[in-house]
Amino acid sequence: MNQIVECVPNFSEGRDKKVIDEIIKAIESVSGIEVLDIDMGADTNRTVVTFIGNPNIISEAAFQGVKKASELIDMRTHEGTHPRMGATDVCPFIPVANVSMDDCIEIAKKTGKRIGAELNIPVYLYENAASNDERRNLATVRSGEYEGLKEKLKDSNWKPDYGTSDFNAGAGATAVGAREFLIAYNINLNTNDRTYANEIAYEIRERGRWKREGNIEPFYYKGDVVYFDEKKYPDGNSDFVGKSFEELSAYYKEKYGKDLRKRYESLGLEPDNLIGKPVYKEGKFTHVKGLGWVIPEYNRAQISMNLTNYKISPLHEIFDVACAEAEKRGIRVTGSEIVGLIPYDAMKDAAVHYLSKMHKSPGLPVSDLMNIAVQSLGLSDVANFNPKDKVLGMPKSDGELANRITFDFVDEVSRDSPAPGGGSVAALSGALGAALGTMVANLSTSKAGFEEHKNKLAKIAEKGQITKDKLIRAIDADTSAFDEVIKAMRMPKDTDEEKNKRDIEMQKGYQSATLVPLKTVENCRNALDICKQISEIMDEGMASDVGSGALMANAGAISASYNVRINLKSINDKKFSSDTNKKLNRLLNECEQILITITKNVEKCL
């Protein structure tokens, strides 16, 4: 599976492009890293870099960036409007595809430990990687900023998680963390009245609008100083700003005939506990920040949001609530917009949600799922949305062979070259078998009489798509499986030492080349299982498709097994050969038994 981790370090330099270029060069020196975005800010004197890679390399790339920043940025001369405490101020790791938050926490700890040990930079872990609750909030960790760091490090409560407690005047300190993906998401309205966008934003976002009781404004106070509703008194221009709570209470008593203190008590609040805190009602979603504004170039109102945990507050649910709230106000949502990138899982969840509303199976190809999500959310309302450019971690097949059209692939197999050969054809055969079983499951979802099987059909189709995609990737994997063997064959063999080293590498290559077709056999067995499950509930008219799929999958398994066996003849490790043979025979026996069951189910319908 393609694993992707995102890293978004913030460097305290936003004016000297040469410095940033050197830092980017250091990050990209790690093979396999892809830099997605570089956002320099002159006023903040800060640059936000976004890059991705797999879990095995992302830590190294982050470390190289932090190291280079510590060499080129001197915090003693740094000025900017953004809070900061180090040359690399923050360095979060974010799970994007097939990676867990726990994985990112371990990467953060590994990276932080190395920064502290090798660069002598104090490191604080924050967000999900934090060592205690007080350090989860970045603002708390960064309090005092660079100017207060020297004294902060003397406080035993603020001993760094890694590195020295000595003040590093040049590099400052770095916060390393793990957090969820932040999605910048906007919802568009068919009006240019910002008031509507703000009202809906208040209903959606985590911190909703101020609590009211009738026409009484939600006053609050800090010490003895009174403040007012930010909407009605945006500049604090009121006769009662700066007055005491008792003076305000007297005003309420005279004007409304109500006791302000009792009003707070009726809401379950104590005035003394409201010091510096306005009283808000909760919005409908947590982990959502939002406000309304007007897009100048389109002259339309928009709800602009940051979703800090799309797994808890999915964007499709937010979109649906926005549509409902807009309708209450006599306006309409025209679509929405993703600013930057979005994880594949967020888009897939949206597609599954809307397919469920349509009473359709979610077990569709990736391209179809993305199309459903884009259309349902109106993501091309103000600008074209291309999933290939905007969706991170989207499953895809980059293989040269897999991307060829059918007759081109068949022609390639027929040529006088050893690859693609039987292994690639076996994988294709298995993929077609999985595809046929999945097709029947998808078609059955909308057929009358299959209502009770809806959930089972959806699971069959989803598993079928996963199995099909694995086998498609195996088409190219099998062709390149022998690369290690060929590379070893080309090693020098002039001395006994060179011969021995060459033999060792060739054996490693043969073992790797054996495991690839063995995995194809396993996935062909899974494709057969897809056909078996659907054969138990299929419509009679689809029996031939299920039977054909089963035969294709079984043929793929047998064909791939030939590749396993012929490679085993070149392997000297008896235990490896014995274990592989046992697993191969077990898989083939399972395939045979599953095929027998499917054949019986199919022939009953013929």
Q: Could you give the residue numbers annotated as active site?
A: 82, 478
Question: Cβ neighbours of residue 291 under 8 Å, at least 6 residues apart?
Answer: 197, 198, 201, 205, 303, 304
- Distances in Å between the alpha carbon of 527 and those of 342, 369, 399, 432, 461? 31, 21, 21, 9, 11
In angstroms, the Cα distances linking 45 to 87, 89, 340 are 11, 12, 21
Residue type, 593: Q
Beta strands in 14-58 (DSSP E): 34-41, 46-53
292: β partners: 303
- H or E segment at 503? helix 496-535
What's at 374, amino acid-wise?
A: V
Question: How far, in Å, CA of 5 to CA of 93, rounded?
Answer: 7
| Closest to 553 measured CA to CA, from 463, 431, 421, 462 | 431
CB atoms within 10 A of CB 371: 14
* Structure tokens belonging to residue 260: 């302000």
Between helix 17-28 and helix 58-72 the angle, nearest 10°, is 150
Are 133 and 175 in contact by the 8 Å Cβ rule? The answer is no
Cα separation of 361 and 456, whole Å?
Answer: 10
Asked if 6 contacts 98 with a C-beta cutoff of 8 angstroms, the reply is no
- Distance between CA atoms of residues 585 and 571, nearest Å: 18
CA 536 to chain centre: 36
Peptide bond into 517 cis (omega under 30): no
Q: Helix (H, G, I), strand (E, B), or coil: what is residue 36?
A: strand
- 185-198: b (≥16 Cβ within 10 Å) or e: bbbbbebeebebbb
Rounded to 10 deg, the angle between the 315-328 and 194-204 helix axes is: 130
Can you tell me which residue has the tokens 């809307």? Answer: 354
Residue from 466, 456, 561 nearest 518 by CA? 561
Q: Which of 171, 126, 167 is nearest to 149 (CA)?
A: 167
Q: What is the CA radius of gyration of the chain?
A: 31
Alpha carbon dihedral 459, 460, 463, 464, in 10-degree steps, equals -150
In three state form, how does the secondary structure of 222-289 look? ECCEEECCCCCCCCCCCCCCCCCHHHHHHHHHHHHCCCHHHHHHHCCCCHHHHCCCCCEEECCCCCEE
